[in-house]
Structure 1
Amino acid sequence: MNKLFSYKLLLAVALLCASCNSFLDVLPRGVANEDDLQNAIGAEKLAVAAYASLGNDHWFEPYTSMWPYGNVRAGDAHKGGLGAADIGEYHQYEIFSTTRTDMDSGNRMWTRLYIGVQRVNAAIKVLNSLDESSFKEKTHRLAEMRFLRAHYHFLLKILFKKIPFVTDELSADDVEKLSNDALTDAELWQKIADDFKFAVDNLPAQKSDVGRPYRTVAKAYLAKVRLFQAYVQNEQNQVVSINQEHLNEVIALTTEVIDSGEFGLFDDFSKNFLWSFDNGQESVFAVQRSKDDGSPIGRIDMSTALNYPMYPGYGCCSFHRPTQNLVNSFRTSPTGLPLFSDYNIVSLKDSADFVKNTIDPRLDHTVGIPSHPYKYQQNVIYRTATFTREPGTYGPYSAMKEVQQLSCPCLTTAQTYAYPSSSKNNTVIRFSDVILWKAEALIEAGRFNEALPLINQIRTRARNSTGLLKYANGKVISNYNMDVYKPGENITWNKATATTALRWERRLEFALEGYRFFDLVRWGIAAETVSEYFATEKTRVPHLASASFTKGRDEYLPVPEQQIQRSNRLYKQNNGW
C-alpha cells in the first residue's frame, strides 16, 4: 500500500451489504492472484472489490463522511475529542495556520482513494479482455466501474485540486511517469465528467441491485460535476468566470432526474438520518453498510466511529462538535426567514434561548443541545457533562445526524475497539441536493424566478418536519417559526437575494454532512467566510487563538509531500504551499 500504483493485485473480495439481497451478498473467500481472475467470474469479483473501496475508509481517512475536511474547515464544526492533541492533524486542519505538506492524514486520504481507482482499473482491464457473448453484463459493469472511478477522482479533486487522472490504459511505467499537472484544471474536470457521461450512456435505465448505480443516478452525479466545473478557477483558486454551457447542462440533467419520478423528498427531514429509512426515496446514491455479515467487523461506518457522545450506551469519543456559529445560523426572523446578516449577533446557549428566539426546525435534527431530547429519544435528555469531552474547549454541542438511536439494531462497536458505530448507509447524494443544484444553476444563469419554487420546496419540507421534535409530554422542543420566500411580502427576490437564499439553504439543509467547505470553494467565498467565522468564534473558544485562513492557499489541501517524493518530484505542489 505504500507504493501507490502497484498493479500487482492481491485482494480480498469484500462483502459490502449482507442484508441487501443483491450482488453484494458474496462472502469473502480469501486472497486471489491476478492471474486467476482473467475470466467472467474474476471480473465480477474485481468489480465487487472496487465497490468495497467505497466503504473502506476509517476515522483516519473519513471519505464517506468527509467531516474533518468539509465541516471542520468550514466553521460548522470543531474537531472535538480530548483536546487539540487528540488526532492533532485534524486540529491543524481546523486552524489552517499550522497545516503542513507532509501530514500523514492527507497522505492516507490520497492513498486510500487511489486504491479505489486502482481496483476499478484492475476490473476494467479484465472486463475489456472479455467477449460480450461470454459475459452479457460486460457493458453495464464497465459503466459501473467508470462511475466509481469518477467518484474517487471527484473526491481527490475537491480535496487536493492537482491530481493525476489514472486510467486502465496506462501501464505501470506510464503511471510512474504521470504528473499531477499533466492536465489543466478544466481538462481534469472534463476527464471526471467523461467517466460519468460514459456511465450515463451505458448503465441500465432501471435500478437492478441495491447499491449499483443506474442511469438516473449517473445523471445526478454528472450534474454535480458540471456544477463544480462551471465555476472556473485560476491557479490562485479564485473563481474568474462561470461557464454558462455547464450551467445549462446542470439544469437539463437535474430536470431529467427530478422529472423521472424515481426519487422524492421524505415527508420528514428526520428520515434521512435514521437507519430504518436507508435506500429510501430521497437516497440517490449511498455507500451500503452492514453488520453481522460474516466478515470480521461487518461493513460498518468506521468514518464516524469517533463522533458518538460519551453517554452510556454510546461511550466515545465526542469528536465532530457543532460550532456556536452553526447553531446561531438556524435562528429565524419574525417572518420565518433566515437572519442572513445578523444571525451571529445573538447566541443560542441557555435552554430559554431556544424559546425566546425563533428557530428553523432543522437545528434539532442536526445538533445535540443541552436540555433537549437527543436523536428523537424522549427518555435521553442531552446534558453537556454526560455527552461531551472538553466542553470548555469545544463548547456544549454534539453532532447528531450520523449518530443512531440506542435502540437501533444497526448500532454496534468495532471489533478490538470500544468505539461505537453503525450499519447506517453513508448517503453521497440526496434528492434535496439535486433540487438545490438545479436552483443554483438557474440563479447563476439569471433565471432566479424559476429557482424560487425549488428552494421553497426544501423549506416547506423542513417547516413540516417537527413531528419527532417533542418532549415526552408532547411539548415541542424549540420555538419553531419558518416560512417560505414570498417575493413582495417577506423578501425582494432578485439574483442577489436568490443567491444568498440558495447558499443559506444549502448550509442549513446539509449542515454537518461533509460538503460545506467544498461549496464555499466552488463559490469562491471560502476565504472571507472562514475569516469572518474566525473573527467571532475566537472570542468564544480558546483553541482557535492562532487560526487564520490564507487566501489562494487554504482552499485545498497540499499535495502530500510523501507523494511528491515518491514521484521523484514529478508532482507539483498546489499554489501557496
Structure 2
Amino acid sequence: MKRFKYILYTAMVATMPLFTSCEDEFLEKPAIGALSDEVLANEAGVEKLLIGAYAALDGIGIGNWETDPSNWVYGSVAGGEAHKGSDGADQPAINPIATFNVDPSNGFLNLKWRAMYEGITRANSVLSLLEVAEGISEGEKQRIAGEARFLRGHYYFELKKMFNMVPWIDETTTDFNQPNNVDIWPNIEEDFKFAMENLPNSQPQVGRANKWAAASYLGKTYLYQQEFAEAKAIFDDVIANGVTSNGLTYGLVDKFKDNWDASAENNKESVFAVQMVANDGTNTIANGNMGQMLNFPYNSPFRCCGFYQPTLDLANSYQTTAQGFPMVDNYNIDPLKNDQGITSDKAFVPDQQSVDPRLDWTVGRRGIPFLDWGLHPGQAWIREQSSAGPYSAKKFIYWQATADTYADQSSWAPGSAINVLIIRFADVLLMAAEAEAQLGNFAQAQEYVNMVRARADRPENIVTTYVDPSEPLDGFTDVPAANYNVEPYPEGYFAGLGKEEALEAIYFERKLELALEGHRFFDLVRWGKAAEKLNAFFDYEGALLPDVEGGFFTTGKNEYFPIPQRQIDLQTVGGESVLTQNPGF
C-alpha cells in the first residue's frame, strides 16, 4: 500500500513548524508532528485532517490582516469603499494596493497566495487519505470528499478572482512545479458540482458546508463567467429550497445588524461563514477575527488601531431621493455633510439629508450612535483624519452589552466572535437579480432587489438616538438618529429602465447592501466597470483626501493583481520560471 505522511492541523495551530538539522541522520527520522497513514487512515483521522482544511479559512498562521477572509484590503480598500486608514506610514504595503501602483514584490500578495495554497494543500491531503482509509462507509466518504472539494473550490475561487491564471494542484498531482497556463474555472465548477451533489442538506456542526452552500457558490462561479442561464437555474433552486447547515430555511433576517452580531449569527441568512470564537482558552485571538484586529476606531474603547475607514464616496452613496430611492448617478454632486476638519470639542450637527438606514449600520459618523457605545465623537476616534477622512467602519464591531462574551482582549488589539460571512442570502438574491436582468427577466430581478430593500425599510432597522448619551446601554429612544427614507421600487420600474439601467440599479444595490464585506473590487472587475467607477472615485476622493490622490486603474492590467514575485522565483528551473506574470507587470 502506498504510504503517506500527513501533518495534523488543528483550528488553533495554522501551520506546524519546520525543523532543520545539520545531521544527515535527521533525514532518516520521521518528521516531528508527522503521522503515517496507519495512524490517520480511518474515519477519525480523516475528520481531523478535514477540520484542518476548515481551519485554514481564516488565513491565520500564514498572515493576519493580509490574509483575512473578508478581503477588506483587496475587495474593499481596492474597491474604493474604504481608505486604508490609520496614518500614511502604517502598513505601507496597503497604499499601492489602494491606488493600483502595486508591484509583484508586495508582501501582502505573497501571503494571500500562500494562505490559499495552504488551504488547498490541506483539502488535497483529505482527498488523498480518503482513497486509502478503511472503515468508512461510502456515504461518509462522499460527504467528506464533498466538504474537502467545497473548501478547495473556495480557496481556488479566491485565487482566481485575485490573480486569474494560477496553477491547479489537486490530490493526484505529483509534480508541484506546475505552470499557470490553463484556465481553472472548469475545475472550480467541478469541485462545487461534486460538493452540491454529495453534501447533505444539513450538518451536525453549523460551520460545515452543506449542499446549498455549494450550490450558491456554484451559481456565483457561473455568474463570474457570465453564464447567466446556468447561474439562474442554480439560484432558482437555492432560493426556493435552500437551507442553512443548521437546517433553517434561507431568508433575510429582520434586523440587518444581526448579520454582524455574534449573539445572532448562524441565522437563516448565513449561507457560508468562517466561524469565529472569542475567549477560547488559548490566550490569543487567533480564532477571534484576528484579521480584523486593526479595524477598530482609534483612541476609543477598542484601543486600536484606526484602519479601514469608509470613504466619502461610500457614505454619499446612501443618500436617497424624496421617493426613498438611491441617487445612482449623482450621489456625489451634493455630498453628505461630515465633520472633516472639525475637532470633537467643536459643535457639529449631522446632516438632515434623507439617507438609507443601512448607512448607519455600516459607517460610523459623528453624532450618530456607534452601536451601543455612545455617539460617535468624530475626530477624537480618527487616527489621522486629514489623510483618510472622518468615518469609521461599523460592521465587525462587537456590542458593548455583550462584550464580556463576544469580545476578546487577549492581544494588543481586540478580537471578536463575529463570523466572516463568505456568502449570505442577501448576496444570493442580488446575484440572482443580476442573472435575471441579464436574461431580460426584469420583473423577477426587481422582486429580488425589493426583498433586500424592503428589509432595509423595516422599523427594526432604524437607528435611534439616546435619551442620555452618557448611558448608551439603556438610553435608546424611539427617535430616529437621522432622516431615514428607503423604499422598494414600484411595479414595472426595472422594465421601464431597460436592461443597462436596471443592471446599474442592481449593481448599486450591491454597493449599499454589501459595503465593507470585501466584494466591491471583484464585482467592478467582473462587470467591466472597474476603470469607469474607480477612476471617477479617484478623481472625486483624491481631490479631497491625499491617501488616494493619484490613484488610477489601467484597463488590461489592474483587473488582477500581479503574481507574487516570490512565487515566480520559487518556481524557477534552469533559470526560467514555469509561472507567467500577469499582463502589465
TM-score, length-scaled by structure 1: 0.88
Give the C-alpha shift of residue 356 in structure 1.
Answer: 3.0
Q: What amino acid is the match of 2:363?
A: V
Distance 1:562-1:34 versus aligned 2 partners, 3 A rule: farther
Q: Deviations over 1:428-462 (max 9, x none)?
A: 11101111111100111121222111111111111
**2 CA distance for matches of 1:465 and 1:315?**
33
Give the C-alpha shift of residue 472 in structure 1.
Answer: 1.4
Relative to structure 2, which stretch is displaced further, 39-48 or 143-152?
A: 39-48
Q: 1:565 — aligned with what?
A: 569
Q: What amino acid is the match of 1:277?
A: A
**1 CA distance for matches of 2:511 and 2:126?**
38
2:261 to 259, 270, 274: 274
* Residues 370 and 384, structure 1, Cα contact 8 Å, conserved in 2: yes
* Residues 369 and 376, structure 2, Cα contact 8 Å, conserved in 1: yes
Relative to structure 2, which stretch is displaced further, 402-411 or 132-141?
A: 132-141
Q: What amino acid is the match of 2:337?
A: K
Q: 2:384 — aligned with what?
A: 390
**2 CA distance for matches of 1:359 and 1:320?**
22
Give the C-alpha shift of residue 559 in structure 1.
Answer: 0.2
Q: 1:323 — aligned with what?
A: 311
Q: What amino acid is the match of 1:10?
A: I
* Residues 5 and 34, structure 2, Cα contact 8 Å, conserved in 1: no
1:40 to 40, 43, 49: 43
Give the C-alpha shift of residue 543 in structure 1.
Answer: 2.2
**1 CA distance for matches of 2:201 and 2:352?**
51
> Partner of 2:45: helix, strand, or coil?
helix
2:541 to 533, 537, 544: 537
* Residues 356 and 486, structure 2, Cα contact 8 Å, conserved in 1: yes
Q: What amino acid is the match of 1:33?
A: L
1:575 to 558, 564, 583: 583
Distance 1:84-1:34 versus aligned 2 partners, 3 A rule: farther
1:526 to 526, 530, 554: 530
Identity %: 36
Within 5 A, what are the aligned runs for 1:189-200? 189-200=185-196
**2 CA distance for matches of 1:12 and 1:500?**
45
**1 CA distance for matches of 2:493 and 2:583?**
46
Give the C-alpha shift of residue 203 in structure 1.
Answer: 0.8
Within 5 A, what are the aligned runs for 1:106-505? 106-131=109-134, 133=136, 137-171=140-174, 174-176=175-177, 178-181=178-181, 183-184=182-183, 188-230=184-226, 246-260=227-241, 262-297=249-284, 299-350=287-338, 354-375=350-371, 377=372, 380-408=374-402, 409-413=404-408, 415=410, 417-464=411-458, 466-467=460-461, 469-473=463-467, 474=477, 475-487=479-491, 492-505=496-509
RMSD: 2.1
1:10 to 7, 18, 21: 7
Q: What amino acid is the match of 1:523?
A: W
Distance 1:365-1:491 versus aligned 2 partners, 3 A rule: farther
Determine which structure has greater relative contact order: mean sequence separation of CA pairs < 8 Å that are 6+ residues apart, divided by chain length.
1
Structure 1: gaps (5+ residues): 1-6, 17-29, 231-245
Distance 1:156-1:465 versus aligned 2 partners, 3 A rule: farther
**1 CA distance for matches of 2:349 and 2:323?**
18
**2 CA distance for matches of 1:71 and 1:525?**
15
Give the C-alpha shift of residue 15 in structure 1.
Answer: 5.2
**1 CA distance for matches of 2:440 and 2:322?**
29
Q: 1:511 — aligned with what?
A: 515
* Residues 307 and 316, structure 1, Cα contact 8 Å, conserved in 2: yes
> Partner of 1:101: helix, strand, or coil?
coil
Q: What amino acid is the match of 1:347?
A: P
Q: 1:550 — aligned with what?
A: 554
Q: 2:473 — aligned with what?
A: none
* Residues 311 and 386, structure 1, Cα contact 8 Å, conserved in 2: yes
**2 CA distance for matches of 1:331 and 1:146?**
42
Aligned length: 531
Q: What amino acid is the match of 2:10?
A: V
> Partner of 1:49: helix, strand, or coil?
helix
**2 CA distance for matches of 1:31 and 1:518?**
39
Q: Deviations over 1:344-402 (max 9, x none)?
A: 01111247885431101100010000111102x1x511012331100111111000011
